[in-house]
Amino acid sequence: MRDLQYYARECLAEVDRLRIPRAKNITFTVNTRAKTRLGQCRKTGDRYVIEVAATLLDERAPLKEGLKDTLIHEILHTCYGCMNHTGRWKQYADKVNAAYGYQVKATAKREDGVIPAELDTPPKYKLICPHCGAEYARYRLSATFEHPERYLCGKCKGSLKGAKRLVRKD
């Protein structure tokens, strides 16, 4: 297991070296329950809490494109006016990427393939479009899964009525 606090300090130092004005009071914690999110930044009072998915601390997950990209992404959210992914946040992300060769992006999800497949928990629910075969994976029971007939396939725009529904058994 990687030491989260060690890499958090390393990323903070890299951000500081570029004189990006990040918040000073940030706490870093591990989220063992996160299924789709790699990282999250929350503001409570005048403090920030950054959570990263536990799988990023596994030695088999990529360090730079996984843990460090996620840490930098979330640290930049603590800068003034940076709770979104445009304007100032984007400028800082570009700066860090150029300086250190990171690939900090607006959206980084497990679906991007950052986490090796063997570390990833397979989704419990899967819906398959009856027309084009597109697959929709869900970790939780969703309205789409329960009532596919009310939705259109994002790929072929056909109705999901009659879509095949698969539930993984644990």
Number of chain residues interacting with Zn ion (CB under 5 A): 8
Candidates 131, 142, 159, 165: give the one binding Zn ion (CB under 5 A): 131
Closest to Zn ion by CB, 119 or 128: 128
> Kind of pairing, strands 47-53 and 26-31?
parallel
Determine, following the binding rule CB under 5 A, whether residue 128 of this chain makes contact with Zn ion: no
Is 42:25 a contact under the CB 8 Å cutoff?
no
> Of the two residues 67 and 129, which places its CB atom closer to Zn ion in the complex?
129
Q: Work out whether 132 is an interface residue with Zn ion (CB under 5 A).
A: yes
Instruction: Return the number of other C-beta atoms located less than 10 Å from residue 36's C-beta.
Output: 13
For 37, other C-beta atoms within 10 Å of its C-beta total: 15
The piece of 12-20, 25-33, 141-149, 155-163 that touches Zn ion (CB under 5 A) is 155-163
- Shortest gap between Cβ of 73 and Zn ion (angstroms)? 6
- The span from the CA of 51 to the CA of 163, in Å, is 36
Residue 153 beta carbon to Zn ion: minimum distance, rounded to whole angstroms:
3
- Chain mean position to CA 36: 6
Q: With binding defined as CB under 5 A, does residue 152 bind Zn ion?
A: no
Q: How far is the CB of 145 from Zn ion (least distance, A)?
A: 15
Nearest CB to Zn ion, comparing residues 60 and 112: 112
Inter-residue contact 115 to 55 (CB < 8 Å): yes
Angle made by CA atoms 114, 117, 121, in degrees to the nearest 5: 105
CB of 39 to Zn ion, least distance (A): 7
